[in-house]
Amino acid sequence: MDPTLLTFRAFFPEFDSLSDAEINLYLDEARDMVSEDNFGDCFNRAVLLDAAHKLSLSQNRRANSVPDEDGNLKTSSGAGPLTSATVGGMSVGYGSNATVGTMSSFTNYYSML
């Protein structure tokens, strides 16, 4: 299973409304950021999950953003404060922010590895 656009769309239909270009951008970034040495046989799956995770975060950010007077998007409510971080294994954790409301649309795709 190569981490291609076709494979991504088959595994993650929740992103059907996004353009091919946007998904490919996140797939390319994931290929550069995910270490094949660390994930071994699971590398391709890790690339797909990394892209899905970051796309989910991006959608959440957009949903919680409003334009400022210059038309730039400003986050009206964030994911909350940083609660944990790991450098070697590339991990980060955020607390919840009461102003975000329901986070049912957010999925931690890393938990699927």
Q: Which pLDDT does position 60 carry in this prediction?
A: 79
> Amino acid identity of 15?
F
Three-state DSSP at 37 gives helix
Q: What is the pLDDT along the chain (113 residues), one digit of tens a residue?
A: 899 999 999 999 999 999 999 999 999 999 999 999 999 999 999 999 999 999 988 887 777 666 777 776 666 555 555 566 676 666 667 665 444 333 334 456 656 66
What does the domain layout of the chain look like in residue ranges? 1-63
Q: Which pLDDT does position 106 carry in this prediction?
A: 43
Q: Which pLDDT does position 105 carry in this prediction?
A: 40
Q: Give all strands (DSSP E) within the chain, no chain letters.
A: 65-67, 73-75, 82-86, 91-94
Q: CA 40 to CA 24: how far, in whole Å? A: 22
Q: Which pLDDT does position 53 carry in this prediction?
A: 92
